[in-house]
Amino acid sequence: MSARILVLPGDGIGPEIVAEALKVLEALNREAGVALEVERSPIGGAAFDAHGVPLPEETLERARACDAILLGAVGGPKWDALERDSRPERGLLSLRSELGVFANFRPAIAYPQLADTSTLKPEVVQGLDVLIVRELTGGIYFGQPRGIRERRDGRREGFNTLAYDEDEIERVCRVAFEAARRRGGRVCSVDKANVLETSELWREIATRVAARYDDVELSHMYVDNAAMQLVRAPKQFDVIVTSNMFGDILSDLASMLTGSIGMLPSASLDAFGKGLYEPIHGAAPDIAGRGVANPLATILSTAMMLRYSLDAPELANRVERSVGQVLDDGLRTPDIESPGTTLVGTREMGDAVVAAL
Ligand code: IPM
Ligand code: MG
């Protein structure tokens, strides 16, 4: 198997965690007889500093040309005061939108080894395996018009638009139903249909899609209740499908069920299986450069890349088993540390995964 992978380290802890994922890819090149060719491009604040824009044209072109993309994280206080279009986050949002990666898979799996790392009781999270399918290229993140304007009374107001058309809802729901078919056979569609018209349509389309999957059970839940249920009894969920912003919020929430946001990978896929792979956490500027960030979410994102874009499920399993192995061995970065375990830094964690491979 050969493939071209574009790596976008980004900002903050991005370069550190991506470096560990690259070690894993290099190890596969050496030992698994694959030829993964890696290129690198700037994105986010790093791209703004070098090229004056958070998503340079060349980065986008290379992203279009490669087989899969691995991204670290973007953002940081250094760029917060820039105009909105120049900010690092805009680079990431434009990349997602330009690539059309509308289906964002965010699995939250509670590793048994980390059961006491979660702030919730072990029995609540033990065995948890929920997949959040977040719509990623529409909704309030992208709706027009948007802005901050001055009203006639001289007061300023901020405004955004939440809109979804039928096709956008339908395609992400289908992806969720297909995924559910290969796992627990249940989809919970999360919305705010008691208040929002967008959600009313969302619910109608989800129900219409469900009619074509008689082997998958559909339920609906309001997002406020879903937030509560995720903390109360998270194991009731199999696949959750939801809009861009609700998915953003619920996936951070779900990450804490697993012990740390440093453990959650993601895959964002277009209609043809091309994907952008990134940990769900941000650039964590407070710990950047200190060598303490958890690289496992990025390494697990690499496993998702092997599975979904490079058609190498056995290599994906191998990477995931290696992560399990280092956790079994008691190695922990600070975010997942608990009594009786061995504290390690970013690099040692990456090296340990490579050794386990
Ligand atoms: C995420 C992040 C991004 C988002 C930010 C960095 C723009 O929070 O991937 O969840 O809101 O989508
Ligand atoms: Mg987020």
Please report the atom of ligand 1 found closest to the CA of residue 136: 12
| Active site residue ranges | 141, 192, 224, 248, 252
Beta bridge partners of 71: 8
Nearest residue by C-alpha to atom 1 in ligand 1: 280
CA distance 347 to 357: 15
Cα 10 → chain centroid: 15
Ligand nearest to the CA of 283: 1
Q: Best mutation site among 71, 80, 84, 92 for ligand 1, i.e. most ligand atoms within 8 A of its Cβ? A: 92
Order the strands of the 186-191 sheet from edge to edge. Answer: 35-40, 2-10, 68-73, 275-277, 267-269, 103-109, 129-135, 239-242, 186-191, 217-222
* The pLDDT value given to residue 115: 85
Tokens read off for 235:
């194991």
Beta bridge partners of 8: 71
* The pLDDT value given to residue 116: 86
Instruction: Tell me the residue ranges of DSSP E strands in 50-124.
Output: 68-73, 103-109
Q: Best mutation site among 96, 248, 280, 298 for ligand 1, i.e. most ligand atoms within 8 A of its Cβ? A: 248
Residue 338 sits at the vertex; the CA angle it makes with 299 and 342, to the nearest 5 degrees, is 65
Residues lying with their CB under 5 A of ligand 2, a single-atom ion = 248
CA distance 120 to 354: 31
Beta bridge partners of 242: 134, 190
Q: Which phi and psi (to 5°) does residue 244 adopt?
A: -55, -55
Question: What separation in Å is there between the alpha carbon of 93 and the centre of ligand 1?
Answer: 8
Task: Tell me which residues have their CB closer than 6 angstroms to ligand 1.
Answer: 75, 89, 92-93, 248, 280, 282
Ligand nearest to the CA of 95: 1
Q: What is the pLDDT along the chain (357 residues), one digit of tens a residue?
A: 899 999 999 999 999 999 999 999 999 999 998 999 999 999 999 999 999 999 999 999 999 999 999 999 999 999 999 999 999 999 999 999 999 999 999 999 999 999 888 899 999 999 999 999 999 999 999 999 999 999 999 999 999 999 999 999 999 999 999 999 999 999 999 999 999 999 999 999 999 999 999 999 999 999 999 999 999 999 999 999 999 999 999 999 999 999 899 999 999 999 998 999 999 999 999 999 999 999 999 999 999 999 999 999 999 999 999 999 999 999 999 999 999 999 999 999 999 999 999
Ligand nearest to the CA of 243: 1
Q: List CB contacts of 15: < 8 A, sequence separation 6 or more.
A: 9, 72
**Which amino acid does the sequence have at 50?**
A
Give 297-333 as a DSSP string.
HHHHHHHHHHHHTS--HHHHHHHHHHHHHHHHTTEE-
* Single pTM value for the model: 0.95
Domains plus CATH for the chain?
A: 1-102+270-357 (3.40.718.10), 110-260 (3.40.718.10)
Q: Are strands 342-343 and 103-109 parallel, antiparallel or unpaired?
A: unpaired
